[in-house]
Amino acid sequence: MSDKFTRRSFLSKAALTGALGASALSGYGQGLVNAVGNAPRLSAPTDLKITDVKCGYLQNRGSMFVKIHTNQGIWGCGEGVDAIAGTYHLVKRFGERLRGQSPLNVHRLFEDIRKSGFFAGAQSGVYIAVLSAIETALWDLAGKALNMPVYQLLGGKFRDRIRVYCDTALYTARNPKPEDYAKAARGAVKMGFNAVKFDIDQGNDPNKYDTFNWTANPAELKRMYDSIAAVRKEVGPNIDICVDMHGRYDLPTGHKVAQMMEPLNLMWLEEPVPAENVEAYKLIADSTTTPICAGENQYLAYGFRRMLEIGAVDIVMPDLQKAGGLGEGQRIANLANLYYVPFAPHMVASYLGAMAACHVCASVPNFLILEWQIYFHTDPMFKEIVTFEGEMVKDGFIRLSEKPGIGVEINEEGMRKYAAKDIPFFV
């Protein structure tokens, strides 16, 4: 209590020193005084140090969670996805580099780790996916230490609610029919969502002539169109529809599908061709009125520079759990904003990753929509592995957390029964 009083007294006196009239300046600087005075004493930047970094992996899923511990009992949580297989020792290596440092220097620590791996793969892939989890945990820790939600550390918020679209996961069904698409869309809208997403790439489509060649034949194209046409007929004109091709097809198929879908007024067509050749994206984008969206397989802001410069995409969708984290996600959004391109993050993580992404989505002007997975409602694991307050989602929106940090915690005990075998679990 005395430390808190001393800090408050010091800042109050400093704010008033040299005042030219007590009445005129009596409130000057009081917001800063109150913020610092209300911050927990344990958050003193000169005292807070990282002591350990631990991680846990989920079995049969591309999900990794990290927890950064400090000398004051405050911790931060982060999540990485997809490109995280076999990365336990990489997490521990990053932890050694972080140990003894202040977690409040988030950008500095991010750059230190990234630049130290210049010849070790720090341009993309597993290196950046793990760094994304570390960076997110640092933001969470900093927010808790300073008693502020992450969006405030990112510069404030443009919105309190984050709009999400429902990925219906119909890809889990074998060769779904148009009526299955319509039924799934109807279910999502009844749950309150005003935007839905469907995948139309089917490797087991019986119409395929060659499992390795991904040039769609006329029967495949008809199956794609009929499926999404059934969705549009079911939900009407005012529900947004997103369509994903998972980067599997070639340029001729990308052209055909984009043009074929024009009457259905899609919100976007996602990754019709692989991510590596952004010039191919431009050829498709220039040939159609269907908005083209890509970015879940790009890393860091550098990965988005070329596609934005040449106008290859209409919407960018970085995955903040593998593209570089929250600060990098904000940089990508701000870069896109210079080209008047909307920002719609890909998101296949847990509710921890979803809320972490929400803080970035709230902090940028060009946010469009965030991905939401139907498995949050169907798989109990996703409620067991984290702790949070309130509803996950309501009427197609996530309410932004006002708690210090991200506002969602890892539940280690809930996660334990789902932990990947033969990998150390938070030790």
Q: Where are the domains of the chain?
A: 2-37, 50-148, 153-405
Q: Is 136 exposed, middle or buried (0-12, 13-18, 19+ CB in 10 A)?
A: buried
For the segment(s) 50-148, the CATH number from 3.40.50.2300, 3.30.390.10, 3.65.10.10, 2.40.50.100 is 3.30.390.10
CA distance 330 to 154: 8
Mean pLDDT of 118-132: 96
Q: What is the 3-state secondary structure (H, E, C) of 305-345?
A: HHHHHCCCCCEECCECCCCCCHHHHHHHHHHHHHCCCCECC
Q: Residue 158: is its pLDDT beyond 50?
A: yes
Q: What pLDDT does 31 receive?
A: 47
Q: Residue 323: is its pLDDT beyond 80?
A: yes
Q: What pLDDT does 5 receive?
A: 31
As a whole-number percent, the residues of the chain with pLDDT over 70 amount to 89
3-state helix, strand, coil in the chain (%, to 5): 45, 15, 40
Coil, helix or strand for 112?
helix
Tell me which of 127 and 46 has the higher pLDDT. Answer: 127
How high is the mean pLDDT of the chain? 91
In one-letter notation, the amino acid at residue 130 is V
Instruction: Look at 198-212, 215-229, 282-296, 318-332 and tell me which has the smallest mean pLDDT.
Output: 198-212
Angle, vertex CA 139, rays to CA 135 and CA 141, nearest 5: 110
Q: Residue 276: is its pLDDT beyond 60?
A: yes
For the segment(s) 153-405, the CATH number from 3.20.20.120, 3.30.43.10, 3.20.20.70, 1.10.10.10 is 3.20.20.120
In this structure, are residues 12 and 117 in contact, taking their beta carbons and an 8 Å threshold? no
Among 33, 41, 79, smallest CA distance to 57 is for 79
Band (pLDDT 50/70/90 cuts) for residue 49 is: very high
Structure tokens at 276: 């590596």
Q: What pLDDT does 36 receive?
A: 46
Angle, vertex CA 92, rays to CA 132 and CA 404, nearest 5: 50
As a whole-number percent, the residues of the chain with pLDDT over 90 amount to 85
The whole model's pTM is what?
0.89
